[in-house]
Structure 1
Amino acid sequence: MTLWKIYYDNDSKANTIPKFRNTVNDMLRNCNCPDKQVKKQKGNRKTEETVKIMRRQFLAHTDMTRDDSRIEVSDMSELLDVMCKEFNCICEVVDDDQVVGMSKNEIGKQKYSCRRQLLSLYI
């Protein structure tokens, strides 16, 4: 659900990475800096679609089948890496000290925390 919320949520009030990217790109175009445009990072489309289906069918409408509900932790981790990379690319083009990307150390801490939490489910 978190991956969907930070990237795929289409609510007009949602703060998503694509919305941030589009806002920054619009500002760059208005400042005559189109060469600094940030492009969408390419991820695993199958994983992306599975996340969207899980949100739409299970969480929103509770009509999900067992086949729709399988997603590997490694695939989610890979998708999160792509999202972090895109977020960092956006932060790099913004000339403001208050806009800071995620360091590799911070990302590593999050991965470690996630693994610990997953292991605790099986112990």
Structure 2
Amino acid sequence: MTHHNPTDDRLSTLESRVENLESRFETIERVFSSEIIEKADAHAAACQEDPRQQFEIGDTHDVVISDMEQDYNGKTGVGKIDGVVTFIDPTETEIETGDVATVRITDVKENALEAMALSRS
């Protein structure tokens, strides 16, 4: 007569659960490629950084104009400087989507920059 050992049952159950979790983890790894994870990590880091610590009024930067938006003052260019959304006033220099513009930062907000277009190339 064989003796039934409850420890063997628990061990078998745990091994089965570990295999199931390993399988699920492999599926998750396939779904979330490293590129997606890197983008999510970069976005999370950017959200935690305060642009007021990185930029100063008067700084100049080159920025690609990714969009032109209509606001109460007319059109405003939109781009990013080091990952921070930047709203660009085109009053002094006409800019269009796709242009690379040299801009001067005019205001640094908690989650965005405001700038004036100085020239475009």
User: Into which bin does the TM-score normalised by the smaller protein fall?
Assistant: under 0.3
Higher relative contact order at CA 8 Å, sep ≥6: structure 1 or structure 2? 1
**TM superposition score normalised by structure 2:** 0.21
**TM superposition score normalised by structure 1:** 0.20
- Name the one with the larger helix percent: 1
- Name the one with the larger strand percent: 2
Larger radius of gyration: 2
